Chain A
Amino acid sequence: MRKSITLVSLGALLSLSALTGCGGKVDKSDKYTKDGKLKISLRNLYFDNYRGGDSYLQELERQFQVKFSFNAYSWANWNTQVTGEVNGGNTPDVFHANVDNYNFKNYYLKWIDNKVVKALPSDLSRWENIAALFENTTNKEALKINGHYYGIPIAKNTSDPSTTYSPFTYMYRRDWAKQYGVYQPNDEYTWSQFENLLKTFANKFAGSGRYALGDDKWGYPSIVNFYKQVPHCFAYDETTHQYVNNYTTDEYIVGLQKSRDFMTKGYYYPNENTAKDGDVTKLYYGNKIGVLFDNFSYANFYKAKAALIKSNESVSNFNADDATAIMKIKGEDGKYALEGTDNWFSMTFFDYRISDNKMEKMLDILDWLLSEEGTRFAIYGIEDYDYEIVDGQIKLIDAYWPIDPKTGRYAEKNNGGKYIRYLASLGYDTLTYDPLSDKDVINYLNSWDQDMKTALENNELKVLKERAEVMWLVTDKKSSYCSIMRDDALKYVRQYIGGSISSIDKYKDKFGYPWPEVLEEINNYFANK
């Protein structure tokens, strides 16, 4: 009797709960402030601690009759927060998601299918700067579904889409190389010269807490790059015309053995496996690493230079340029190897439920900020107040740009325009005329870029890139497992190099289910097509 009462009540409670779960549609119609400004909520990773309140933002809001609210995602929990919002139906009007996920196309289609994100108008001619942005975006075809884009890819470089490789490369201590007599002119090293350099460094450093070679965590093991064709799971076998497991190809395994060799010989920093992203880079700043593999964007390069200057204050005639030289290494096949990437790695999305009016308004604002006039506004501020144009040259008005005593450069201003511009561009297109940026660093990075372009033309550069047709392919098993497969594979690779997988045979055995099924599915798909 008592038990049945309990069961019945439990059932009643659960069905009640199911009924209450049905409701809860969110009202997303346009809302206005008292003075008639359209309210728009924004959430983006790059906002960091910016919360508005500056006069530039007010000016922008007045001009377009809108009222923004700013919120930022937290770096550590970005994916969790976006997933929570999407699955709970709580996305802000404009939000920001990571595309760096191997499984992104699957998300993208799902979000379109599940009515999470709103399509941009098919005709973008009204917003010519945004249209131009899409023109400069690599692999944009993959984002076009039924003639519509469903978000704006935040691109790294709007002016030069030809750069299809990433600045993931080696920085090294040229000063130490000179000191130990292994320096090669122009920082160009052949494979044997590179190995020799590592060996020399390792011998000199033994027992001093310094290490010859360190990869920042995300890029470990970088040595394999010289031996593989694609960065991730699916390599293409030209002879059989089939997709194969990249991690068990013969060439990959040679690279794997090479990396293990470097680890056992003590060239590699021994804590790669416990390090967190950024740890090894910090060691380099502290003079602990001879050759560092990392992502040398402008910001990172500048940071490294500043950090090394600080940590070598006591060293007389320390040359920061010698400590932050970019090393150009050719692999055993005589080619440089760089990972190929798209020039965007995150996207700005619009909530499906917002009105066309709001979306158009938002596009108007972004379009203006991408224009010449808007860019000047976002970087310098207001004409004749923050800057003036003398003979076609922009000149800052010093009274409004005090020098920051901590950095010795112009103080940064809180400018809402800059942050809103981040919704469409990473800001690389503005570096060259941003008064806050260090021109020497930009020139050095550009010269490296030029060298690589020349190498590409001379067939001396191998760009590691998965074929777009398979990278953006969405099939049942692949879209479920590819991301886990990549994570697992990286784990096995690192285990083999560290020695916890003892032999190549055992390493190969790790690639069981779902690897064969997924590869079969992919190959069948292309065979039927």
Chain B
Amino acid sequence: MEKILISKKQGFFYSLKKRVVSSRFLIMMIIPAIIYYAVFCYIPMYGVLIAFTDYNSYLGIMGSVSQNWVGFQNFQEIFRYPHFWDTFKNTIFIGSLKIVISFISAVLMALIINELRMRFFKKFAQIVVTFPHFLSWVVVASLFIMILDNTGVLNNFLSKNGMEPVHFFADPHLFRTLLFSSDVWKEAGWSSIIYIATMAGISTDLYEAADIDGATRLQKIWHITLPGIKPTAILLLIMSVGGVLSAGFDQIFNMTSRLTNPDVIDAVNIIDTLVYQFLQTGMPEGQSTAIGLFKSVIGFALVITTDRIAKLCGERGII
């Protein structure tokens, strides 16, 4: 009995040692990453403790923890703040719709480019549609405002021709539409690249076999191309679910003239803009950190859930 135990123990350490030695070069390659993530991601993580304190910059974070600990009081305060839940609902709505719309637009764009038979135009168009991705929202938003504003190029043209102007920046519903379309404008081409590449990887044998069966183009798209990009699509969707609660701060911030457009701001207020407002108006640091922590926890839970669902449906998850 004893002997077996000892030999088992020896076996464990022996195999451990063997495994470490055999993968020593890989471990060496991963060491920079471990240091990097420990320093830049894990060390700052103790900052979440600020959410439970009345933060004092002189005491520092640990000093505030030991002397100004307030428990869950910051959370109670933010949950009581009436705009918080409106903002939360808005964030979920905008964030999830954005994921859906950007997913559909990227796949459609990829299909169009993949299917089109004009090589020169195709290359040109692909360069054009991917390009806006490289611009920051500061620039893109000022472009949109210049063109679509009440007195911008579009409305100038409409009113000159005796048509009713379109108030993109005054009507909350139109503005939300504009938000989604500007996202498509900027990112559709870019996000389609990954799908185009995946489509390029689908074996041509499948298409040739379908040709022999006399399948139409739409049938081939439906039965070969779309299933071919499914794993990629699911992987990207799971990854993007974690970002639901982020919903695009940069975009909203700049499209609402630094959050000052009163006609539309209530329709697009999200958690990140609330945090920005808290920081700018001198709300206690503990409360803005609490909002951030709340957001992270929900986002993480969403990713885990989606991942489980994907796995239950027989797909490869990420975790």
Contact = CB atoms under 8 A, between A and B. Distances in A.
Interface of A: 13-14, 16-18, 20-22, 24, 79-80, 83, 86-89, 101-103, 106-107, 113-116, 207, 209, 217, 270-271, 273-276, 352, 479-480, 483-484, 487-488, 490-492, 494-495, 498, 500, 512-514
Contacts of B169: 271, 273-274
B300 to A, nearest CB: 13
B283 A271 contact: no
A514 B82 CA distance: 8
A491 B273 CA distance: 15
B43 A20 contact: yes
A80 B151 contact: no
Interface in B18-54: 38, 42-47, 49
Given A487-B277, A487-B281, 4 more contacts: A13-B38, A101-B282, A483-B282, A512-B82
B62 interface: yes
A352 B57 CA distance: 12
Interface string B232-269: 00000000000000000000000001101111011000
Given A274-B169, A276-B258, A89 B282 contact: no
Contacts of B275: none
Given A106-B282, A116-B57, A487-B281, A21 B46 contact: yes
A114 to B, nearest CB: 4
Given A17-B42, A491-B262, A271 B149 contact: yes
A490 B266 CA distance: 13
Interface in B79-119: 80-83
A484 B277 contact: yes
Contacts of A488: 83
Contact of B43 (A17, A106, A274, A500): A17
B45 A89 contact: no
Interface in B274-297: 277-285
Complex A-B, nearest 9 residue pairs according to Cβ-Cβ distance, in ascending order: A483-B281, A494-B262, A115-B58, A17-B43, A114-B58, A274-B169, A18-B46, A103-B282, A491-B262
A25 B72 CA distance: 29
- Scoring A20, A274, A487 by chain B CB atoms within 10 A of each residue's CB, the highest score goes to A274
B262 A17 contact: no
B172 interface: yes
A345 to B, nearest CB: 16
Contacts of A83: 279
B151 A21 contact: no
A484 B30 CA distance: 47
B170 interface: yes
Given A22-B60, A274-B169, A512-B82, A17 B282 contact: no
B282 A500 contact: no
Contacts of A13: 38, 42
A279 to B, nearest CB: 9
B150 A271 contact: yes
Contact of A495 (B83, B149, B263): B263
Contact of B44 (A17, A116, A495, A498): A17
Nearest to B165: A270
Contacts of B172: 500
Given A17-B43, A209-B151, A483-B281, A498 B262 contact: yes
